[in-house]
Amino acid sequence: MERSLTNKNSSCNEIEACHNLIKKHIHNTPILTSRLLNEITGANLYFKCENFQRMGAFKMRGATHAIMKLTNTERQKGVVTHSSGNFAQALALAAQSLNVKAYIIMPSTAPNVKKQAVIGYGAQIIECEPNLMARESMAKKIESETGARFIHPSNNYNVILGQGTACLELMDQINDLDAIICPVGGGGLIAGTALAAKYHNSNCTILGAEPYEVDDAYRSLKSGKIESNNSTNTIADGLKTQLGDINFPIIKNGVNKIIRVEEQEIKDAMLLIWERMKIIIEPSSAVAFAAVLKAKNEFKNKKLGIIISGGNVDLKNTHF
Amino acid sequence: MERSLTNKNSSCNEIEACHNLIKKHIHNTPILTSRLLNEITGANLYFKCENFQRMGAFKMRGATHAIMKLTNTERQKGVVTHSSGNFAQALALAAQSLNVKAYIIMPSTAPNVKKQAVIGYGAQIIECEPNLMARESMAKKIESETGARFIHPSNNYNVILGQGTACLELMDQINDLDAIICPVGGGGLIAGTALAAKYHNSNCTILGAEPYEVDDAYRSLKSGKIESNNSTNTIADGLKTQLGDINFPIIKNGVNKIIRVEEQEIKDAMLLIWERMKIIIEPSSAVAFAAVLKAKNEFKNKKLGIIISGGNVDLKNTHF
């Protein structure tokens, strides 16, 4: 599909520019369909498979964009972030690809397999105590000592634009989607998705999906201010973080609603996709499909895009 | 790539005709590549992903072809086979798609999940004692009672031609492959692969891969006669069967050699593909990639096709 040329505003031009900038460094991931899952849901589902993205998740898009928007002088000093999840690997790999030094702050309790993946992409790990205050103060310390630029995993406008390019590619290929659904963690993906849908000037509804156990975005949209989670007892380990002051206004403006799902629904949805589509998706991605299964009456005969956010799973510790 | 138009013999014309006949009823499955697995092996690997085939395995091809080659009168009486594996599901689904009755003889000990899959595709299951003699005599009984035509899972020329269309599609898309490797169970896939390679008139070497635990094809090629397995203690549950008098001459003529692998090598290869390619392949398919890892010195800088035979795994009983 040709991109719509009407009603461009600044964020529209920005997302197109972002995609042009990063597209050589990322995969334009495949969009899969499944006859069986269409039958089960009664909808026409288009799975945008970011599990096939480089390093296994959409985070590669935002990390790449954030680094590419730095000046040459800034790039020489490197980048720093705090993450024990996909953004750690994403920033490490994007930095390696762009020949930039990356410092990744990880909690001392992070699984060895995650540390090894970051080291494998050539980044330097700095360990800290496993709490928010410790990692934020460590990030400031690294910034001041090295001059490296801090890149937040989700609350950074260039990261948000980058994440939106998954939706942009989806809408470039699939016309007239009635809705797009994606999981909500820190809010970068859904904010970017909302910006990309606006770019395409479509009437497509943007929906989020969250576990009940970490429904901070659901509650934030209800209350109108950023809410946090008292506990984070979910298998969707990518969705434990909260929204930020940069992505929340975009989400309030562009997201229709958040559908919440139970832990067992997440597991069932993940098993169904593994079994039937023969692809590995991570629990956070299964949250979006679980929401579709749960609310399938709303989606009957609709064209629905589902952003499969990633496929990084610790297979040795995954049991159905 | 245009198919070669020279040096056609009868099996060449047959495989093209087979593909034309069945292509509406099967998926032309994707061919995936992986930068990381290329780095690990030093070769250029092209994975023909029959795990994305209908019902999850290449067997759909041969089953569809065998039924389509029956006369209308024959089709009215149905088809019968004995299998507790992928061919059971394949014949059931192909028969359902072509509006033909299917009788599937399964050992009484077959897992319930496999029986349910066959029933889900609308076939009738007939249980028998779990041994070769019982299933063969039950097949004869069903044939004589119903008039249904017996379709052997691997030792049937139309089945062999059907299985060969996976290789045909691979070579249609990827030029100048140095070799193609596939797992060897009953011999239908590798015999069909050899016929397809001959069709393309290429210098491509055809290789088989087998677990040491069921290396009957390896021994058969050495001895020049069909050997069997005294035990079948392998996780590659699709490869426990032996060659037959129809496929063995084709294999002797067209297959260069068989590479054998250990059980742990199969598990390691399977984990590597799940983790890195984010696709689910069954242990029998991992045998082919395990052979490539084992013999990687032979494949340095070669263009190598790997037929991923299927993705049907009992996820609830799979542990790495």
A252 within domain boundaries:
yes
Q: Does B320 contact A319 at a Cβ distance shorter than 8 Å?
A: no
Which helix (H) or strand (E) is A210 found in, with range? strand A205-211
Q: What is the pLDDT of residue B12?
A: 66
Find the residue in A nearest to B312 (Cα): A275
Number of residues written out for chain A? 320
- pLDDT for B244-264, tens place per residue? 999 999 999 999 999 999 999
Mean pLDDT (chain B, rounded): 94
**Per-residue confidence (pLDDT) for residue B111, from 0 to 100:** 84
- Please give the structure tokens belonging to residue B121: 């595709």
- Whether B252 is a known active-site residue: answer no
| Strand pairing report for A31-32 and A44-49 | antiparallel
Mean pLDDT value across chain A: 94
Same domain, B219 and B258: yes
B chain contacts of residue A52, beta-carbon cutoff 8 Å: 278
Q: Both A80 and A34 in a single domain?
A: no
CB contact under 8 A, A51 and B280: no
Catalytic residue among A59, A69, A114, A198: A59
Do residues B168 and B300 both lie within one domain?
yes
Q: Do A271 and B315 touch (CB under 8 A)?
A: yes
Q: Identify the bridge partners of residue B125 per DSSP, sorted by sequence position.
A: B104
How does residue B9 score in pLDDT terms, banded at 50, 70 and 90?
A: low
Q: Are A164 and A246 in a shared domain?
A: yes
Q: What number is the average pLDDT over the span B71-81?
A: 98
Question: Where does the pLDDT of residue A10 fall: very low under 50, low under 70, confident under 90, or very high at 90 and above?
Answer: low
Whole-angstrom Cα distance, residue A184 to residue A241?
9
Closest-CA residue to A146 (of A127, A130, A124): A124
Residues A87 and A133 in one domain: yes
| Subunit contact A316:B320, Cβ cutoff 8 A | yes
pLDDT at A309: 98
Task: Looking at the structure, tell me whether residues A301 and A171 fall in a common domain.
Answer: yes
Q: Given this model, what pLDDT does residue A84 score?
A: 83
Q: What is the predicted pLDDT for the residue at A3?
A: 53
CB-CB contact of B170 with B305 (8 Å): yes
- Find the CB nearest A315 among B275, B281, B316: B275
* Token pair listed for B190: 């590798």
Answer yes or no: is A70 within a domain: yes
- Measured CA to CA in angstroms, residue A215 lies from A164, A231, A232, B232 at distances of 22, 10, 9, 50
Phi and psi based region of residue A56 (left: phi greater than 0; alpha: psi -120 to 50; beta: remaining): left
Tell me the pLDDT tens digit for each residue of A115-136.
Answer: 999 999 999 999 999 888 999 9
A138 and A178 assigned to the same domain: no
CB contact under 8 A, A279 and B279: yes
Taking 50 as the threshold, does the pLDDT of residue B24 lie above it? yes
Q: Which of A94, A124, A150 is the last residue of a domain?
A: A150
| Residues 6+ away with beta carbon under 8 Å from B154 | B62, B87, B160, B185, B186, B187, B188, B189, B241, B243, B244, B247
> How confident is residue A5, by pLDDT bands cut at 50, 70 and 90?
very low
Using a CB-CB distance cutoff of 8 angstroms, which residues of chain A are in contact with residue B278? 51-52, 56, 279-281, 311
**Interface confidence (ipTM) of the complex:** 0.92
Final residue belonging to a domain, choices A105, A125, A150: A150
pLDDT (0 to 100) of residue B4:
47
Residues B84, B36, single domain; the answer is: no
Among the candidates B102, B133, B150, a domain finishes at B150
Q: In this predicted model, what pLDDT tens digit does every residue of A33-89 receive, in sequence order?
A: 999 999 999 999 999 999 999 999 999 999 999 999 999 999 999 999 999 889 999
Question: Which of the following is catalytic: B11, B34, B59, B284?
Answer: B59
Taking 50 as the threshold, does the pLDDT of residue A6 lie above it?
Answer: no
Distance between B35 CA and the closest CA of chain A, angstroms: 10
Smallest Cβ–Cβ distance between B278 and the set A51, A316, A319 belongs to A51
pLDDT-based confidence at residue A110 (cuts at 50, 70, 90): confident
Spatial contact of B43 and B67, defined as CB atoms under 8 Å apart: no
Q: How far is CA A97 from CA A104, A149, A253, in A?
A: 16, 17, 34
Which chain A residues contact residue B281 at CB under 8 A? Answer: 278
Tens digit of each residue's pLDDT (9 = 90 or more) over A274-315: 999 999 999 999 999 999 999 999 999 999 999 999 999 989
Average pLDDT, integer, range B108-129: 92
Q: Which of A56, A278, A320 sits opposite B280 (nearest CB)?
A: A278
Nearest CA in chain A to B51: A278
> Is pLDDT of A165 > 90?
yes
Residue of A nearest to B55 (CA): A276
When divided into structural domains, chain A yields a total of 2
Biggest distance spanned by C-alpha atoms of chain B: 57
pLDDT at residue B149 is higher than 70: yes
Domain that holds residue A99: 59-150
In a domain, A3, yes or no: no
Within-domain flag for B3: no
Could you tell me if residue B294 is inside a domain?
yes
Rounded to whole angstroms, how far apart are CA atoms A124 and A108? 14
Confidence of residue A7 (pLDDT cuts 50, 70, 90): very low
Average pLDDT (B86-94) is 97
* pLDDT tens digits, one per residue of A194-228: 999 988 877 899 999 999 999 999 999 999 999 99
d(CA B142, CA B121): 19
Kindly state whether residues B215 and B307 are assigned to the same domain.
yes
Is B278 close to A319, i.e. CB distance below 8 A?
no
Q: Would you call A311 and B271 a contact, using CB atoms and an 8 Å cutoff?
A: no
A267 catalytic residue (yes or no): no
- Chain A nearest-CA distance from B26, in A, is 13
Amino acid at residue number B125: I
**Does the pLDDT value for residue A91 go beyond 60?**
yes
Query: What residues of B are in contact with residue A274 (Cβ under 8 Å)?
Result: 280, 315
Question: Predicted confidence band at B2 (pLDDT cuts at 50, 70, 90)?
Answer: very low
pTM of this prediction? Answer: 0.93
Backbone angles phi, psi at A259, to 5 degrees: -100, 130
What CATH number should be reported for the domain holding residue B171?
3.40.50.1100
Task: Using alpha carbons, select from B269, B319, B267, B316 the residue that is nearest to residue B291.
Answer: B269
Contacts of A275 in chain B (CB under 8 A): 315
CB contact under 8 A, A56 and B271: no
Distance from the first to the final alpha carbon of chain B:
40
